[in-house]
Structure 1
Amino acid sequence: MSAVLSIATPVFAVIAIGLYAGRSGIAPASDVAAINRFVFKFAMPAALFGLTAGADPIAGRDLILAGIYGASALTVMLTAYMIGLRLFSLSPPAAGAHAFASTLGNAVFLGLPIALAVEGWFKPFVVLMLVEGIGVIALGAALMDPSKKKGPLGYLAAPFRNPLVIGMAAGLVASFITSATNLNLPGPIATLLTTLGRAAGPAALFSLGLFLATTPRPPIAEVRGKIGAILSLKMIALPALMFAGLSVAGISEPGILGPAMLFSVVPSGVGAFVMASQFGHYEREAAAAIAVTTLLSMITISCVLVIYG
């Protein structure tokens, strides 16, 4: 429990600082867009590049774990997308943002530090991050990017114009080159990317707090159902599908179950807010969903650590 508090408390603190900055007038609402552009176009791509460039190739049981998560995430994302379209009458891009917030987890800035603190959890957790970074982010970008209206080619090309996807793809290429040639990035470039990547989490969390402070709250009756749907899919359905898939596959080792369940119960990721803001769809709902699921994750993460840690 102390590990959860030591990691989650700074996350809430940075959000609170953003809230204070907005409510006190230190930072105006216009700063949100500038910070989000920095996070979306520079800091987060650098963080994702570093993650993928330093990861080992996926093999063996990692492939099974990756497949189970991929199937679970795809099921949740498509379900959330249809709920957004049919139940809430959202536009296709807004439904895409709803689906993205229902699936993307705060793995990098909340889950990963916990996985690093538990022996043996890092590798399975990173495997899931790779699948999420390539599959979930790419699909989310395609669903939210209006350019998909230009036809099939525009739809297929949309994810690859997303800086987050570009950062992940470049990291995979760098990983392959490093393993094949034993060549590493020049020191100054590696340091630059590391510095940018470290700025992604604090900047995104501060921006989230500032956004919450400077944006009028949506009517409770209007948002409650949408946030409830996101919470149900992200914090209940996705973990249940993951656990069921692992059970069917005969995977019962705590060293795999633990990081897999941790990955599935982390709250909606800050990236959902960043991408929603970038594409101009569903920002208020994404921010509210992150706040609510982050509060709930104090319980879900604690349960995972008690059971498997």
Structure 2
Amino acid sequence: MLAVFLQTIPFFLIIGLGYGAGRSGFFPEAATAWLTKFVFYFALSAMLLRFSANLSLAEAFDLDFVLAYALASLAIYLLATLIAILRRLSVAEAAVEAQCAVIGNVGFLGLPMLAMLMGEAAIAPVMMVLAVDLMVFGSLIVILITGSRDGRMSLAVLGTVGIGLLKNPMIVSIVLGLSWSASGWPLPSVANDFLVLLGGAATPGALFAIGASLASKSAERPVIAGYLSFCKLVLHPAAVAVAALVLFPIAPYPAAVMIAAAALPVAGNVYILAQHYGVAPQRVSASILISTALAVVTLSLVIGWANTLY
């Protein structure tokens, strides 16, 4: 466990460096926004495109894996929703809190960290987790918030969800990469080298951007944020572990990666959605800040345990 903790420290040190740069004003919010855009649209997309282009469809999609992760996540999603309803929150607020409980920072933190700590073979399972998060739960929150405000479901809402998925560079990169892989042609060496070089900026860029973005976050309503962080860092990986190790026939290595991915702190894109719709952005902000701070310890513990499974 100590060895894994020491291996994760450099990742969180870069996050801390970004936080310090943002907190001091040396790296203003505008700079953070542009760095995030670069990582999201270019560096991280290049990394995903290269990895997916070298995967077979069988490696990139496992129905049992997807079902195990999706159903375990749904169980925690429904639990958080039920607790929100018992607290007499609106449907929109319940959807946002449930999103905090199950959506981790897979793209910016999980992909680079798990690829380095658990090997490049972790990329395929992480991509499946990312796809479920974006396509299932990313769509669900938009449908719930918009539907609750309109009082009904409409084709316009579904159209908005579909367009959002088509515009997401991570989804596009994975689809393009798998399409290239399906052609049976190897990536030309020039293209591969280009993607390696550009994708190499994803890890430090993403980690620094996470830290810089946390500098503008506040820890208002820490009790609720602490409860949501507990859901994300403890309950979510526990539910995924039960699904992957008991309920579904998942091989030890992808099961370990799935559990580790479930232990990631709350994702920044939950805040973007909360802010966009004007639903509890301060609550989400505090959840991201607290869960990321606690993940320095909890994520190391989960990864260390997961590594003993294979």
Q: Scaled by the length of structure 2, what TM-score is found?
A: 0.76
1:117-156 equivalence runs, <5 A: 123=121, 125-143=122-140, 150-156=156-162
Residues 100 and 199 of structure 1, relative CA distance in 2, 3 Å threshold: farther
| Aligned residue type for 1:132 | V
Offset at 1:8?
0.6
1:117-196 equivalence runs, <5 A: 123=121, 125-143=122-140, 150-177=156-183, 179=184, 183-196=185-198
Cα displacement string for residues 162-216 of structure 1 (whole angstroms, at most 9, x for unaligned residues): 1221112112212212x3xxx2233333222222322222112112222233x25
| Aligned residue type for 1:51 | F
Cα displacement string for residues 222-262 of structure 1 (whole angstroms, at most 9, x for unaligned residues): 143134224324422333343245323466x6556544443
Aligned to 2:30: 30
Which of these residues, 90, 111, 114, is aligned with residue 114 of structure 2? Answer: 111
Query: Any conservation in 1 of the 2:229–2:287 contact (CA below 8 Å)?
Result: no
SS of the equivalent of 1:23 reads helix
Aligned to 2:239: 240
Query: Any conservation in 2 of the 1:44–1:200 contact (CA below 8 Å)?
Result: yes
Aligned to 2:102: 102
Distance in 1, matches of 2:100 and 2:66, equals 18
Matched pairs, number: 290
Identity of aligned residues (%): 21
1:41-120 equivalence runs, <5 A: 41-58=41-58, 62-80=62-80, 87=87, 89=89, 92=92, 95-96=95-96, 99=99, 102-104=102-104, 105=106, 106-116=109-119
Distance in 2, matches of 1:131 and 1:70, equals 10
Residues 112 and 46 of structure 1, relative CA distance in 2, 3 Å threshold: same
Residues 218 and 85 of structure 1, relative CA distance in 2, 3 Å threshold: farther
Cα displacement string for residues 238-295 of structure 1 (whole angstroms, at most 9, x for unaligned residues): 33343245323466x655654444344x3226xx215644884546235312332343
Alignment gaps of 5+ in structure 1: 117-121
Offset at 1:18?
1.0
Distance in 1, matches of 2:58 and 2:193, equals 26
Distance in 2, matches of 1:223 and 1:19, equals 19
2:7 maps to 1:7: yes
Query: Any conservation in 1 of the 2:18–2:210 contact (CA below 8 Å)?
Result: yes
Query: Any conservation in 2 of the 1:80–1:233 contact (CA below 8 Å)?
Result: no
Query: Any conservation in 1 of the 2:237–2:260 contact (CA below 8 Å)?
Result: no
Alignment gaps of 5+ in structure 2: 148-155
Aligned to 1:290: 292
Cα displacement string for residues 103-149 of structure 1 (whole angstroms, at most 9, x for unaligned residues): 33443122222222xxxxx64x4442232122212234434669967
Offset at 1:160?
1.8
2:305 maps to 1:308: no
SS of the equivalent of 2:170 reads helix
| Aligned residue type for 1:113 | M
Distance in 2, matches of 1:93 and 1:170, equals 35
Distance in 1, matches of 2:180 and 2:287, equals 32
